[in-house]
Amino acid sequence: MFMDWPLLSLVIWTPIVGGMLVLATGSDKNAVEAKVLTLVVAIATFLISLPLYTEFNTQLASMQFVENISWIERFKINYHLGVDGISMPLILLTTFTTMLVVLAGWEVIKTRVAQYMAAFLIMEGLMIGVFAALDAAVFYVFWEAMLIPMFIVIGIWGGPRRVYATIKFFLYTFFGSVFMLIALLYLAVKSGSFEILDFHTFKLGIEAQILIFIAFLLAFAVKVPMFPVHTWLPDAHVEAPTGGSVILAAIMLKLGAYGFLRFSLPITPDASGILDWLMISLSLIAVVYIGFVALAQQDMKKLIAYSSISHMGFVTLGFFIIFAIARKDANMSGAVMGIEGGIVQMISHGFISGAMFLCVGVMYDRMHSRQIADYGGVVNTMPVFAAFMVLFSMANAGLPGTSGFVGEFMVILSAFKANFWFAFLAAITLIVGAAYTLWMVKRVLFGDVANDKVAALTDINLREALILSVLAVAVLFFGLYPAPLLEVMEPSVENLLQHVMQSKL
Protein backbone atom coordinates (compact mmCIF):
# COMPACT_ATOMS: atom_id res chain seq x y z
CA MET A 1 0.00 0.00 0.00
CA PHE A 2 2.90 2.33 0.56
CA MET A 3 4.42 1.88 -2.86
CA ASP A 4 2.59 4.87 -4.30
CA TRP A 5 3.60 7.24 -1.55
CA PRO A 6 6.63 9.49 -1.97
CA LEU A 7 8.15 7.60 0.94
CA LEU A 8 11.71 8.78 0.43
CA SER A 9 10.69 12.42 0.31
CA LEU A 10 8.70 11.91 3.46
CA VAL A 11 11.64 10.32 5.24
CA ILE A 12 13.89 13.18 4.18
CA TRP A 13 11.61 16.12 4.78
CA THR A 14 9.71 15.04 7.90
CA PRO A 15 12.76 15.46 10.14
CA ILE A 16 13.89 18.66 8.38
CA VAL A 17 10.52 20.34 8.72
CA GLY A 18 10.21 18.89 12.21
CA GLY A 19 13.59 20.38 13.03
CA MET A 20 12.40 23.81 11.91
CA LEU A 21 9.37 23.46 14.16
CA VAL A 22 11.59 22.48 17.06
CA LEU A 23 13.72 25.57 16.43
CA ALA A 24 10.55 27.64 16.61
CA THR A 25 9.93 26.52 20.20
CA GLY A 26 12.65 29.00 21.05
CA SER A 27 14.36 29.46 24.35
CA ASP A 28 15.23 26.93 27.03
CA LYS A 29 12.03 27.74 28.88
CA ASN A 30 10.29 25.42 26.45
CA ALA A 31 12.99 22.76 26.60
CA VAL A 32 10.58 19.97 27.50
CA GLU A 33 8.28 20.76 24.60
CA ALA A 34 11.27 20.86 22.27
CA LYS A 35 12.48 17.46 23.46
CA VAL A 36 9.08 15.81 23.26
CA LEU A 37 8.45 17.22 19.80
CA THR A 38 11.87 16.03 18.65
CA LEU A 39 11.27 12.54 19.94
CA VAL A 40 7.87 12.41 18.26
CA VAL A 41 9.36 13.50 14.96
CA ALA A 42 12.26 11.06 15.27
CA ILE A 43 9.95 8.15 16.03
CA ALA A 44 7.57 9.16 13.25
CA THR A 45 10.47 9.27 10.80
CA PHE A 46 11.59 5.84 11.90
CA LEU A 47 8.10 4.48 11.42
CA ILE A 48 7.83 6.09 7.98
CA SER A 49 11.13 4.52 7.02
CA LEU A 50 10.00 1.00 7.99
CA PRO A 51 7.92 0.40 4.84
CA LEU A 52 11.11 0.93 2.87
CA TYR A 53 12.13 -2.46 4.26
CA THR A 54 8.80 -4.24 4.41
CA GLU A 55 7.76 -3.22 0.91
CA PHE A 56 11.20 -3.69 -0.57
CA ASN A 57 11.36 -6.17 -3.42
CA THR A 58 14.44 -8.28 -2.69
CA GLN A 59 14.40 -9.81 -6.16
CA LEU A 60 15.10 -6.56 -7.95
CA ALA A 61 18.51 -5.04 -8.47
CA SER A 62 17.10 -1.79 -9.84
CA MET A 63 16.17 1.31 -7.89
CA GLN A 64 12.94 1.23 -5.94
CA PHE A 65 10.63 3.86 -4.46
CA VAL A 66 11.80 6.11 -7.27
CA GLU A 67 10.76 9.75 -7.39
CA ASN A 68 11.85 11.90 -10.26
CA ILE A 69 10.79 15.45 -10.93
CA SER A 70 12.60 18.25 -12.66
CA TRP A 71 14.32 20.61 -10.23
CA ILE A 72 16.72 22.88 -12.09
CA GLU A 73 16.07 22.70 -15.79
CA ARG A 74 18.90 25.05 -16.66
CA PHE A 75 21.41 22.37 -15.64
CA LYS A 76 19.13 19.36 -16.20
CA ILE A 77 19.17 18.60 -12.51
CA ASN A 78 16.34 16.40 -11.34
CA TYR A 79 15.07 15.77 -7.87
CA HIS A 80 15.66 12.08 -8.41
CA LEU A 81 15.46 9.73 -5.46
CA GLY A 82 15.49 5.98 -5.16
CA VAL A 83 17.04 3.19 -3.11
CA ASP A 84 18.52 -0.19 -3.79
CA GLY A 85 19.61 -2.95 -1.47
CA ILE A 86 22.77 -1.05 -0.59
CA SER A 87 21.29 2.27 0.44
CA MET A 88 18.03 1.10 1.99
CA PRO A 89 19.60 -0.54 5.09
CA LEU A 90 21.70 2.57 5.62
CA ILE A 91 18.61 4.76 5.65
CA LEU A 92 17.04 2.53 8.28
CA LEU A 93 20.25 2.70 10.27
CA THR A 94 20.05 6.49 10.13
CA THR A 95 16.46 6.77 11.32
CA PHE A 96 17.10 4.17 14.01
CA THR A 97 20.24 5.82 15.34
CA THR A 98 18.76 9.30 15.37
CA MET A 99 15.98 8.10 17.65
CA LEU A 100 18.51 6.78 20.13
CA VAL A 101 20.62 9.91 19.92
CA VAL A 102 17.65 12.09 20.76
CA LEU A 103 17.01 9.95 23.82
CA ALA A 104 20.68 10.00 24.74
CA GLY A 105 20.71 13.79 24.86
CA TRP A 106 17.51 13.97 26.89
CA GLU A 107 18.92 14.90 30.29
CA VAL A 108 22.46 15.70 29.34
CA ILE A 109 21.91 18.76 27.18
CA LYS A 110 20.87 21.70 29.32
CA THR A 111 21.61 24.76 27.21
CA ARG A 112 19.97 25.70 23.93
CA VAL A 113 18.10 22.43 23.90
CA ALA A 114 15.87 23.28 20.97
CA GLN A 115 18.83 24.11 18.76
CA TYR A 116 20.58 20.87 19.74
CA MET A 117 17.58 18.72 19.02
CA ALA A 118 16.73 20.53 15.80
CA ALA A 119 20.31 20.13 14.55
CA PHE A 120 20.05 16.35 14.87
CA LEU A 121 16.69 16.19 13.13
CA ILE A 122 17.86 18.33 10.24
CA MET A 123 21.06 16.33 10.01
CA GLU A 124 19.01 13.13 9.87
CA GLY A 125 17.01 14.35 6.89
CA LEU A 126 20.12 15.52 5.07
CA MET A 127 21.97 12.24 5.63
CA ILE A 128 19.02 10.25 4.33
CA GLY A 129 19.04 12.55 1.34
CA VAL A 130 22.61 11.56 0.59
CA PHE A 131 21.71 7.86 0.64
CA ALA A 132 18.59 8.35 -1.45
CA ALA A 133 19.90 10.75 -4.10
CA LEU A 134 20.17 9.44 -7.64
CA ASP A 135 21.13 12.80 -9.08
CA ALA A 136 24.69 13.90 -8.53
CA ALA A 137 23.78 17.52 -7.82
CA VAL A 138 21.13 16.50 -5.31
CA PHE A 139 23.67 14.16 -3.74
CA TYR A 140 26.22 16.93 -3.47
CA VAL A 141 23.76 19.39 -1.98
CA PHE A 142 22.82 16.96 0.78
CA TRP A 143 26.42 15.87 1.23
CA GLU A 144 27.64 19.40 1.91
CA ALA A 145 24.60 20.74 3.70
CA MET A 146 25.00 17.96 6.24
CA LEU A 147 28.21 19.56 7.46
CA ILE A 148 26.40 22.63 8.74
CA PRO A 149 24.43 21.06 11.60
CA MET A 150 27.39 18.89 12.61
CA PHE A 151 29.65 21.95 12.64
CA ILE A 152 27.20 23.67 14.97
CA VAL A 153 26.72 20.62 17.20
CA ILE A 154 30.43 20.10 17.83
CA GLY A 155 31.07 23.82 18.13
CA ILE A 156 28.38 24.67 20.66
CA TRP A 157 28.03 21.59 22.84
CA GLY A 158 31.51 20.16 22.47
CA GLY A 159 34.46 19.90 24.82
CA PRO A 160 37.21 22.42 25.56
CA ARG A 161 38.91 22.25 22.17
CA ARG A 162 35.64 22.18 20.28
CA VAL A 163 36.33 25.18 18.02
CA TYR A 164 39.58 23.71 16.74
CA ALA A 165 37.98 20.33 16.24
CA THR A 166 34.88 21.55 14.47
CA ILE A 167 36.68 23.88 12.07
CA LYS A 168 39.13 21.11 11.28
CA PHE A 169 36.24 18.75 10.67
CA PHE A 170 34.49 21.20 8.37
CA LEU A 171 37.51 22.23 6.36
CA TYR A 172 38.80 18.69 5.90
CA THR A 173 35.48 17.52 4.56
CA PHE A 174 34.96 20.64 2.49
CA PHE A 175 38.43 20.20 1.05
CA GLY A 176 37.70 16.71 -0.12
CA SER A 177 34.25 17.50 -1.45
CA VAL A 178 35.07 20.38 -3.76
CA PHE A 179 37.24 18.13 -5.90
CA MET A 180 34.34 15.75 -6.15
CA LEU A 181 32.23 18.69 -7.27
CA ILE A 182 34.61 19.38 -10.15
CA ALA A 183 34.57 15.70 -11.09
CA LEU A 184 30.78 15.66 -11.04
CA LEU A 185 30.63 18.82 -13.14
CA TYR A 186 33.02 17.25 -15.63
CA LEU A 187 30.85 14.16 -15.86
CA ALA A 188 27.73 16.27 -16.18
CA VAL A 189 29.19 18.40 -18.95
CA LYS A 190 30.36 15.36 -20.87
CA SER A 191 27.29 13.19 -20.40
CA GLY A 192 24.71 15.94 -20.54
CA SER A 193 22.94 15.31 -17.25
CA PHE A 194 23.56 14.85 -13.55
CA GLU A 195 21.97 11.39 -13.39
CA ILE A 196 24.20 9.06 -11.37
CA LEU A 197 22.85 6.02 -13.19
CA ASP A 198 23.80 7.59 -16.52
CA PHE A 199 27.28 8.19 -15.17
CA HIS A 200 27.48 4.45 -14.48
CA THR A 201 27.16 3.59 -18.15
CA PHE A 202 29.02 6.61 -19.53
CA LYS A 203 32.22 5.71 -21.37
CA LEU A 204 35.38 7.38 -20.14
CA GLY A 205 39.01 7.28 -21.22
CA ILE A 206 41.54 5.93 -18.77
CA GLU A 207 43.18 9.28 -18.02
CA ALA A 208 39.86 10.93 -17.25
CA GLN A 209 38.92 7.93 -15.14
CA ILE A 210 42.05 8.14 -13.06
CA LEU A 211 41.62 11.86 -12.40
CA ILE A 212 37.97 11.42 -11.53
CA PHE A 213 38.82 8.48 -9.31
CA ILE A 214 41.34 10.59 -7.44
CA ALA A 215 38.83 13.42 -7.03
CA PHE A 216 36.29 10.98 -5.62
CA LEU A 217 38.94 9.41 -3.47
CA LEU A 218 39.75 12.77 -1.87
CA ALA A 219 36.11 13.30 -0.98
CA PHE A 220 35.34 9.84 0.26
CA ALA A 221 38.66 9.04 1.89
CA VAL A 222 38.32 12.09 4.12
CA LYS A 223 34.84 11.01 5.10
CA VAL A 224 35.54 7.31 5.74
CA PRO A 225 38.25 8.33 6.95
CA MET A 226 41.21 6.52 5.43
CA PHE A 227 44.83 6.83 6.37
CA PRO A 228 46.45 9.45 6.00
CA VAL A 229 43.52 11.90 5.99
CA HIS A 230 42.01 10.50 9.17
CA THR A 231 43.42 13.02 11.63
CA TRP A 232 40.25 15.09 11.91
CA LEU A 233 38.30 12.17 13.27
CA PRO A 234 39.92 11.68 16.69
CA ASP A 235 39.68 15.42 17.33
CA ALA A 236 36.08 15.67 16.24
CA HIS A 237 35.07 12.60 18.21
CA VAL A 238 36.79 13.62 21.39
CA GLU A 239 35.33 17.11 21.37
CA ALA A 240 31.84 16.31 20.11
CA PRO A 241 29.01 15.75 22.59
CA THR A 242 27.98 12.10 22.89
CA GLY A 243 25.17 12.44 20.36
CA GLY A 244 27.49 14.03 17.84
CA SER A 245 30.06 11.26 18.25
CA VAL A 246 27.39 8.63 17.77
CA ILE A 247 26.07 10.17 14.56
CA LEU A 248 29.58 10.74 13.28
CA ALA A 249 30.69 7.19 13.89
CA ALA A 250 27.46 5.39 13.12
CA ILE A 251 26.39 7.23 9.99
CA MET A 252 28.65 9.95 8.67
CA LEU A 253 31.59 7.62 8.21
CA LYS A 254 29.33 5.29 6.25
CA LEU A 255 28.62 8.06 3.77
CA GLY A 256 32.20 7.92 2.55
CA ALA A 257 32.10 4.17 2.12
CA TYR A 258 28.74 4.46 0.41
CA GLY A 259 30.28 6.98 -1.96
CA PHE A 260 32.85 4.39 -3.06
CA LEU A 261 30.05 2.00 -3.94
CA ARG A 262 27.81 4.50 -5.67
CA PHE A 263 30.45 6.60 -7.43
CA SER A 264 34.04 5.39 -7.53
CA LEU A 265 33.52 1.73 -8.37
CA PRO A 266 30.82 1.94 -11.05
CA ILE A 267 31.82 5.27 -12.61
CA THR A 268 35.55 4.65 -12.82
CA PRO A 269 35.87 0.83 -12.82
CA ASP A 270 39.09 0.71 -14.82
CA ALA A 271 40.81 3.31 -12.70
CA SER A 272 39.63 1.50 -9.58
CA GLY A 273 41.13 -1.71 -10.96
CA ILE A 274 44.43 -0.04 -11.78
CA LEU A 275 44.69 1.75 -8.47
CA ASP A 276 43.36 -1.03 -6.28
CA TRP A 277 46.84 -1.62 -4.88
CA LEU A 278 46.68 1.88 -3.44
CA MET A 279 43.28 1.34 -1.88
CA ILE A 280 44.24 -2.05 -0.48
CA SER A 281 47.45 -0.70 1.01
CA LEU A 282 45.70 2.28 2.58
CA SER A 283 43.02 -0.03 3.96
CA LEU A 284 45.56 -2.42 5.42
CA ILE A 285 47.53 0.44 6.93
CA ALA A 286 44.31 1.65 8.53
CA VAL A 287 43.49 -1.81 9.79
CA VAL A 288 46.89 -2.65 11.24
CA TYR A 289 48.68 0.60 12.02
CA ILE A 290 45.66 2.47 13.35
CA GLY A 291 44.84 -0.59 15.41
CA PHE A 292 48.19 -0.25 17.14
CA VAL A 293 47.63 3.50 17.55
CA ALA A 294 44.39 2.71 19.31
CA LEU A 295 46.27 0.49 21.70
CA ALA A 296 48.25 3.47 22.95
CA GLN A 297 45.33 5.81 23.70
CA GLN A 298 44.67 7.15 27.17
CA ASP A 299 41.34 8.70 26.30
CA MET A 300 38.38 6.37 25.83
CA LYS A 301 36.74 8.37 23.08
CA LYS A 302 40.00 8.62 21.19
CA LEU A 303 40.49 4.91 21.51
CA ILE A 304 37.08 4.21 20.02
CA ALA A 305 37.67 6.82 17.33
CA TYR A 306 40.86 5.05 16.26
CA SER A 307 39.13 1.71 16.43
CA SER A 308 36.48 3.16 14.11
CA ILE A 309 39.13 4.09 11.55
CA SER A 310 40.56 0.62 11.83
CA HIS A 311 37.17 -1.01 11.36
CA MET A 312 36.34 1.19 8.40
CA GLY A 313 39.57 -0.12 6.88
CA PHE A 314 37.84 -3.48 6.62
CA VAL A 315 35.03 -1.87 4.70
CA THR A 316 37.28 -0.32 2.06
CA LEU A 317 39.36 -3.49 1.96
CA GLY A 318 36.25 -5.50 1.18
CA PHE A 319 35.25 -3.10 -1.59
CA PHE A 320 38.58 -2.96 -3.38
CA ILE A 321 39.72 -6.54 -2.93
CA ILE A 322 37.35 -7.55 -5.71
CA PHE A 323 39.77 -6.71 -8.50
CA ALA A 324 42.46 -8.92 -7.07
CA ILE A 325 39.93 -11.74 -6.81
CA ALA A 326 38.71 -11.17 -10.35
CA ARG A 327 42.26 -11.34 -11.67
CA LYS A 328 42.73 -14.76 -10.04
CA ASP A 329 39.60 -16.60 -11.06
CA ALA A 330 36.40 -15.97 -12.93
CA ASN A 331 34.15 -17.09 -10.10
CA MET A 332 32.74 -13.92 -8.63
CA SER A 333 31.37 -15.36 -5.42
CA GLY A 334 34.44 -14.22 -3.53
CA ALA A 335 34.05 -10.69 -4.84
CA VAL A 336 30.37 -10.63 -3.91
CA MET A 337 31.34 -11.72 -0.43
CA GLY A 338 33.94 -8.96 -0.18
CA ILE A 339 31.48 -6.20 -0.98
CA GLU A 340 28.72 -7.72 1.09
CA GLY A 341 31.10 -8.14 3.97
CA GLY A 342 32.03 -4.49 3.67
CA ILE A 343 28.41 -3.43 3.78
CA VAL A 344 27.59 -5.69 6.71
CA GLN A 345 30.59 -4.25 8.47
CA MET A 346 29.23 -0.74 7.81
CA ILE A 347 25.88 -1.55 9.37
CA SER A 348 27.36 -3.46 12.25
CA HIS A 349 29.93 -0.79 12.96
CA GLY A 350 27.03 1.66 13.01
CA PHE A 351 25.49 -0.22 15.91
CA ILE A 352 28.67 -1.07 17.75
CA SER A 353 30.50 2.24 17.53
CA GLY A 354 27.30 4.04 18.37
CA ALA A 355 26.87 1.83 21.40
CA MET A 356 30.48 2.28 22.48
CA PHE A 357 30.23 6.05 22.31
CA LEU A 358 27.00 5.93 24.23
CA CYS A 359 28.70 3.83 26.90
CA VAL A 360 31.50 6.35 27.22
CA GLY A 361 28.86 9.06 27.28
CA VAL A 362 27.09 7.36 30.18
CA MET A 363 30.30 7.36 32.19
CA TYR A 364 31.29 10.85 31.10
CA ASP A 365 27.96 12.27 32.24
CA ARG A 366 28.69 10.95 35.72
CA MET A 367 32.41 11.53 36.04
CA HIS A 368 33.14 14.28 33.48
CA SER A 369 36.28 12.49 32.45
CA ARG A 370 37.17 10.33 29.52
CA GLN A 371 40.61 9.38 30.78
CA ILE A 372 40.99 5.67 31.27
CA ALA A 373 43.24 6.36 34.24
CA ASP A 374 40.41 8.04 36.16
CA TYR A 375 38.38 4.87 36.15
CA GLY A 376 38.69 1.39 37.56
CA GLY A 377 36.30 -1.08 39.12
CA VAL A 378 33.21 0.50 37.63
CA VAL A 379 31.61 -2.94 37.60
CA ASN A 380 31.30 -2.78 41.36
CA THR A 381 29.08 0.27 41.29
CA MET A 382 27.44 -0.07 37.87
CA PRO A 383 26.92 -3.78 37.27
CA VAL A 384 24.13 -3.50 34.71
CA PHE A 385 26.05 -0.95 32.72
CA ALA A 386 29.18 -3.06 32.88
CA ALA A 387 27.31 -5.99 31.37
CA PHE A 388 26.26 -3.92 28.41
CA MET A 389 29.68 -2.45 27.93
CA VAL A 390 31.34 -5.84 27.99
CA LEU A 391 28.92 -7.06 25.34
CA PHE A 392 29.61 -4.12 23.05
CA SER A 393 33.34 -4.41 23.60
CA MET A 394 33.22 -8.05 22.62
CA ALA A 395 31.32 -7.06 19.52
CA ASN A 396 33.91 -4.39 18.79
CA ALA A 397 36.61 -7.02 19.08
CA GLY A 398 34.72 -9.17 16.58
CA LEU A 399 33.53 -11.98 18.82
CA PRO A 400 31.50 -14.63 16.94
CA GLY A 401 27.83 -14.29 17.66
CA THR A 402 27.94 -10.52 17.46
CA SER A 403 27.47 -8.48 14.31
CA GLY A 404 31.08 -7.34 14.44
CA PHE A 405 32.19 -10.86 13.60
CA VAL A 406 30.10 -11.33 10.47
CA GLY A 407 31.43 -8.46 8.42
CA GLU A 408 35.06 -8.87 9.38
CA PHE A 409 34.93 -12.59 8.80
CA MET A 410 33.41 -12.19 5.34
CA VAL A 411 36.01 -9.65 4.34
CA ILE A 412 38.87 -11.79 5.62
CA LEU A 413 37.50 -14.84 3.81
CA SER A 414 37.30 -12.99 0.54
CA ALA A 415 40.76 -11.54 1.12
CA PHE A 416 42.04 -15.12 1.27
CA LYS A 417 40.78 -15.62 -2.25
CA ALA A 418 42.84 -12.70 -3.42
CA ASN A 419 46.08 -13.07 -1.56
CA PHE A 420 47.10 -14.91 1.58
CA TRP A 421 49.06 -11.96 2.97
CA PHE A 422 46.19 -9.51 2.65
CA ALA A 423 44.07 -11.88 4.68
CA PHE A 424 46.85 -12.48 7.13
CA LEU A 425 47.38 -8.79 7.78
CA ALA A 426 43.66 -8.16 8.08
CA ALA A 427 43.27 -11.05 10.47
CA ILE A 428 45.97 -9.65 12.73
CA THR A 429 43.55 -6.91 13.71
CA LEU A 430 41.22 -9.40 15.22
CA ILE A 431 43.97 -9.84 17.76
CA VAL A 432 44.94 -6.20 18.05
CA GLY A 433 41.28 -5.19 18.16
CA ALA A 434 40.63 -7.61 20.94
CA ALA A 435 43.70 -6.32 22.73
CA TYR A 436 42.87 -2.64 22.79
CA THR A 437 39.18 -3.11 23.49
CA LEU A 438 39.52 -5.68 26.21
CA TRP A 439 42.45 -3.92 27.79
CA MET A 440 40.34 -0.77 28.05
CA VAL A 441 37.48 -2.79 29.52
CA LYS A 442 39.83 -4.33 32.02
CA ARG A 443 41.22 -0.99 33.14
CA VAL A 444 37.87 0.82 33.23
CA LEU A 445 35.40 -1.77 34.44
CA PHE A 446 37.33 -4.34 36.41
CA GLY A 447 39.78 -4.31 39.23
CA ASP A 448 39.31 -2.54 42.52
CA VAL A 449 37.29 0.64 42.84
CA ALA A 450 39.83 3.23 41.83
CA ASN A 451 38.68 6.33 43.69
CA ASP A 452 35.83 7.93 45.61
CA LYS A 453 34.23 9.24 42.48
CA VAL A 454 33.91 5.77 41.05
CA ALA A 455 32.59 4.55 44.37
CA ALA A 456 29.84 7.15 44.22
CA LEU A 457 28.66 6.16 40.73
CA THR A 458 25.03 5.20 40.26
CA ASP A 459 23.98 2.57 37.79
CA ILE A 460 22.22 3.43 34.54
CA ASN A 461 18.64 4.59 34.67
CA LEU A 462 15.75 3.29 32.63
CA ARG A 463 16.31 5.66 29.71
CA GLU A 464 19.94 4.65 29.35
CA ALA A 465 19.11 0.98 29.80
CA LEU A 466 16.48 1.23 27.08
CA ILE A 467 18.91 2.77 24.58
CA LEU A 468 21.64 0.26 25.31
CA SER A 469 19.36 -2.77 25.26
CA VAL A 470 17.88 -1.83 21.89
CA LEU A 471 21.39 -1.64 20.51
CA ALA A 472 22.36 -4.88 22.22
CA VAL A 473 19.45 -6.66 20.55
CA ALA A 474 20.51 -5.28 17.17
CA VAL A 475 24.14 -6.33 17.66
CA LEU A 476 23.17 -9.85 18.66
CA PHE A 477 20.44 -10.23 16.06
CA PHE A 478 22.66 -9.39 13.12
CA GLY A 479 25.45 -11.42 14.65
CA LEU A 480 23.37 -14.57 14.87
CA TYR A 481 21.15 -14.09 11.86
CA PRO A 482 22.54 -11.72 9.22
CA ALA A 483 20.47 -13.38 6.47
CA PRO A 484 17.79 -10.68 6.16
CA LEU A 485 20.47 -8.09 5.56
CA LEU A 486 22.35 -10.18 3.02
CA GLU A 487 19.15 -11.11 1.23
CA VAL A 488 18.23 -7.47 0.73
CA MET A 489 21.57 -6.44 -0.69
CA GLU A 490 22.45 -9.48 -2.79
CA PRO A 491 20.85 -8.50 -6.16
CA SER A 492 22.14 -4.94 -5.88
CA VAL A 493 25.67 -6.07 -5.09
CA GLU A 494 25.69 -8.50 -7.99
CA ASN A 495 24.40 -5.80 -10.28
CA LEU A 496 27.10 -3.46 -9.04
CA LEU A 497 29.78 -6.06 -9.67
CA GLN A 498 28.59 -6.56 -13.22
CA HIS A 499 29.05 -2.85 -13.82
CA VAL A 500 32.44 -2.79 -12.20
CA MET A 501 33.77 -5.76 -14.11
CA GLN A 502 32.80 -4.28 -17.45
CA SER A 503 35.56 -2.12 -18.83
CA LYS A 504 34.52 1.37 -19.84
CA LEU A 505 37.40 1.93 -22.19
Partner 1 sequence: MNFQIPDVMPALPEIFILSMACIILVTDLFLNKTNRGATYMLSQATLVIAVLITVASFSTSPMLTFSDTFVRDGIGDVLKIAIYTATFTVFLYARDYLKDRGLFKGEFYVLGLFAVLGMMILISAHNFLTIYLGLELLSLSLYALVAMHRDSAIASEAAMKYFVLGAIASGMLLYGMSMIYGVTGSLDLATISQQAAQLSDKLVLVFGIVFLLIGIAFKLGAVPFHMWVPDVYHGAPTAVTLFIGSAPKLAAFAMLMRLLIDGLGSVIAQWQDILILLILMSLAVGNIVAIAQVNIKRMLAYSTISHIGFLMLGVVTGTQAGVSASMFYTIAYTLMSLGSFGMIILLSRKGFEAEKLEDFKGLNERSPWYAFLMLVLMFSMAGVPPFLGFWAKLSVLQEVVAVDMVWLAVASVVFSIIGAFYYLRVIKIMYFDKPEATEPVGCSRDMSVLISLNAIFVLMIGLFPDSLLSLCLKVVSAS
The distance of closest approach from Cβ of residue 318 to partner 1 in the complex, given in angstroms and rounded to an integer, is 31
CA distance 357 to 203: 44
Least CB distance to partner 1 at residue 33 (A): 16
CB environment 195-223: b (16+ within 10 A), e (fewer): bbbbbbeeebeeebbbbbbbbbbbbbbbb
We find the least distance from the C-beta atom of residue 167 to partner 1, in angstroms, to be 6
Q: Is 216 in the site for partner 1 (CB under 8 A)?
A: no
Q: Among residues 463, 356, 466, 362, which one has the least CA distance to residue 402?
A: 356
- Extract the runs of DSSP E, i.e. beta strands, from 178-318: none
Per-residue mark of binding to partner 1, 107-146 (x: CB under 8 A): -----x--x---------------------x--xx--xx-
Phi, psi values for residue 346, rounded to 5°: -60, -50
Per-residue mark of binding to partner 1, 70-89 (x: CB under 8 A): -xxxxx--------------
Per CB under 8 A, the list member of 91, 100, 101, 152 interacting with partner 1 is 152
Minimum distance from CB of 174 to partner 1 (Å)?
Answer: 5
Kindly tell me which of 3 and 163 has the beta carbon lying closer to partner 1: 163
What is the pattern of x (binds partner 1, CB under 8 A) and - over residues 374-403?
A: ------------------------------
Report the alpha-carbon distance of residue 363 to residue 355 in Å, rounded: 13
Binding track over 163-202 against partner 1, x by CB under 8 A: x--xx--xx--xx--xx-xx--xx-xx-------------
**Beta carbons within 10 angstroms of residue 335's beta carbon:** 26
Q: Which residues are bridge partners to 69 per DSSP?
A: 79
Cα-based distances in Å from 405 to 353, 401, 410, 475, 481? 14, 7, 8, 10, 12
Q: Which is nearer to partner 1, 75 or 421 (CB)?
A: 75
458: burial class by Cβ within 10 Å (0-12, 13-18, 19+)?
exposed
Q: Which is nearer to partner 1, 16 or 48 (CB)?
A: 16
Question: Per CB under 8 A, does 147 bind partner 1?
Answer: yes
Q: Measured from the CB of residue 256, what is the shortest distance to partner 1 in angstroms?
A: 18
Minimum Å gap between C-beta 289 and partner 1 is: 28
Q: Which of 259, 219, 248, 454 is nearest to 354 (CA)?
A: 248
Asked if residue 21 binds partner 1 (CB under 8 A), the reply is no
Residue 148 contacts partner 1 per CB under 8 A: yes
d(CA 305, CA 248): 10
Alpha carbons 209 and 274: distance in angstroms, whole number: 10
Give the binding site for partner 1 (CB under 8 A): 26, 71-75, 112, 115, 137, 140-141, 144-145, 147-148, 151-152, 155-156, 162-163, 166-167, 170-171, 174-175, 178-179, 181-182, 185-186, 188-189
